[in-house]
Chain A
């Protein structure tokens, strides 16, 4: 069973600082890992998807890495802006169960102007 943990639960940084968000998963036989953004009361917006054969993905100011051996993924957001304030969720799927996404509880980020 894939279990996903995100620590810390909340993070507050001043504008311009780089953000580092952590995600841990228990099943190293990971199929893919996806990072999402969620604004209050809203649905999920996909940010980055990393396949099991990949080590990282980049999109603009976002970079996500995947280390299967340690069971970790990290999302980096460069030069944070107040508009980056949201909850960030990571979700993993396993080869044994590739259709099911197992989510962490998320990290709520506040970027102070």
Chain B
């Protein structure tokens, strides 16, 4: 039990649609990161938020965006979905002053 909860667990969308994935972290976990994991590969860093501001971004286009809220929840939004966006999306949080990341169970997104 990591204390990080993601919803929904599975999702099917059509190419061109928009999707919002959600993550809820433990109290005190001020840092949240999102990762994309394609089948058979390691997770790739999308971006990170600290105290509701983005403070790091990986090699993903602007149609990937996020939000972090004061209640330690966060969202990943993806616009204009493409078939290659099909993947497991993972949320990870870190407590203040700590370096260990705790991951949620992921959201499996399928784009058809």
Q: Which residues of A lie under 8 Å from residue B88 when comparing CB positions? A: 41
Interface size on B, residues (CB 8 A): 29
Whether B45 lies near A101 (C-beta < 8 A) is: yes
In the complex, identify which listed stretch (A13-21, A44-52, A58-66, A77-85) lies at the interface while the others stay far away: A44-52
Which of chain B's residues has its CB closest to A4's CB?
B42
A-facing mask of B61-78, CB < 8 A → 1, else 0?
000000000000000000
Check A31/B99 contact, CB under 8 A, given A41-B88, A105-B41. yes
A32 CA to B43 CA, complexed, in Å: 17
Chain A nearest CB: distance from B5 CB in Å? 10
In terms of DSSP, what is the predominant structure of the interface of chain B?
Answer: strand
Q: Which residues of B lie under 8 Å from residue A32 when comparing CB positions? A: 99
B-facing mask of A83-103, CB < 8 A → 1, else 0?
000000101010001111111
Q: Which residues of B lie under 8 Å from residue A100 when comparing CB positions? A: 33, 45, 48, 56, 58
Interface size on A, residues (CB 8 A): 26
Decide yes or no whether B22 CB sits under 8 A from chain A: no
Q: Which residues of A lie under 8 Å from residue B105 when comparing CB positions? A: 42-43
Q: Which of A31, A93, A98, A104 contacts B42 (CB 8 A)?
A: A104
Decide yes or no whether A34 CB sits under 8 A from chain B: yes
Q: Which chain A residues have a beta carbon within 8 Å of chain B's beta carbons?
A: 4, 31-32, 34, 36, 41-46, 49, 51, 89, 91, 93, 97-106
Across the A-B interface, the 9 shortest Cβ-Cβ residue pairs:
A103-B42, A43-B105, A44-B103, A43-B106, A49-B100, A105-B42, A100-B45, A43-B103, A103-B43
Q: Which chain B residues have a beta carbon within 8 Å of chain A's beta carbons?
A: 2, 4, 6, 31, 33, 35, 40-45, 48, 50, 55-56, 58, 88, 90, 92, 99-106, 108
Q: Could you list 21 A-B pairs, sorted by A, with CB under 8 Å?
A: A34-B101, A42-B105, A43-B4, A43-B6, A43-B103, A44-B90, A44-B103, A46-B102, A49-B100, A89-B42, A99-B31, A99-B33, A99-B50, A99-B55, A100-B45, A100-B58, A101-B33, A101-B43, A101-B45, A101-B92, A103-B35
